Structure 1
């Protein structure tokens, strides 16, 4: 998606809410030629997320936005109960690496193991171990894309037992060929 604005007047009234929010991201005087865009818009039936870049031209005071739009219907969002938010703290606080086992994590939060696994299925839609593996896979993909580490180094950095266990998780369990992920760092 591409949007262009020329002769930017930051006080002018734009009819579209998205256009207003995009223009509000730009500040005069223009100090940089590229502005990152991360914009959340809430409508009655949709949640919209715009991400991308704005290229600015100071001479003619114009901006061109190159955006990706992600939308999701509000009815498709399933909110988890408030008492399950302790699970979010596991991944934010780094407790997973310290304790190591789901049984220890459950006892740290005063839960028994079966209740902990049930909470994980309700909150994450998966068991704790499977969700943890998916989170590790996201970190691996990020490392493959943006670093020059070898796949063995990436496996070690992301707490896999060895390269083979990472490869089996990607290739056999999720049928995702890890070796086909482009290495963006080498292309820059």
Structure 2
């Protein structure tokens, strides 16, 4: 497939592939969850860039959008729930460093050898006029409308669950105009406004 691409696209695939691998390695080298999160996001965005160079813009957009939102949510939850502030305190990211390094390197070598030595199929026919539509039909078939409805229903469920789980907000604490001198908390304590 790379032989069908212009020279700039081949160079982009090689450069972004290297960046993706380097950022993936950084996930296990950095010493905090927050840094590992952003290293993983960098790796996924490099993969999205590779998809753009391979003339697959829809998959690139979905990958970038999905991974950016996922990593942002992970960072928010780390700030909210981790015992150390925002996951920035030094910690090890692996539990069996030697074993995981051996397995990771072995899998990388095996996959790389497989990619470069296997006989890849050649394309039959012409490139479709609308690859996004073709991909959607291939994945969803006749179920596209059902999946769209389910997606909206799931999103509404997430919003409703969040609203119902949040019993109190800033307007409950400081009044409708946010002008109370002290918060009306059910449990005393906390910081003054």
Higher strand share: 1
Higher helix share: 2
Q: Which has the higher contact order (CA 8 A, sep 6+)?
A: 2
Q: Please, what TM-score do these two structures have when normalized by structure 2?
A: 0.26
Q: Please, what TM-score do these two structures have when normalized by structure 1?
A: 0.26
Q: Answer with 1 or 2: which has the greater Rg.
A: 2
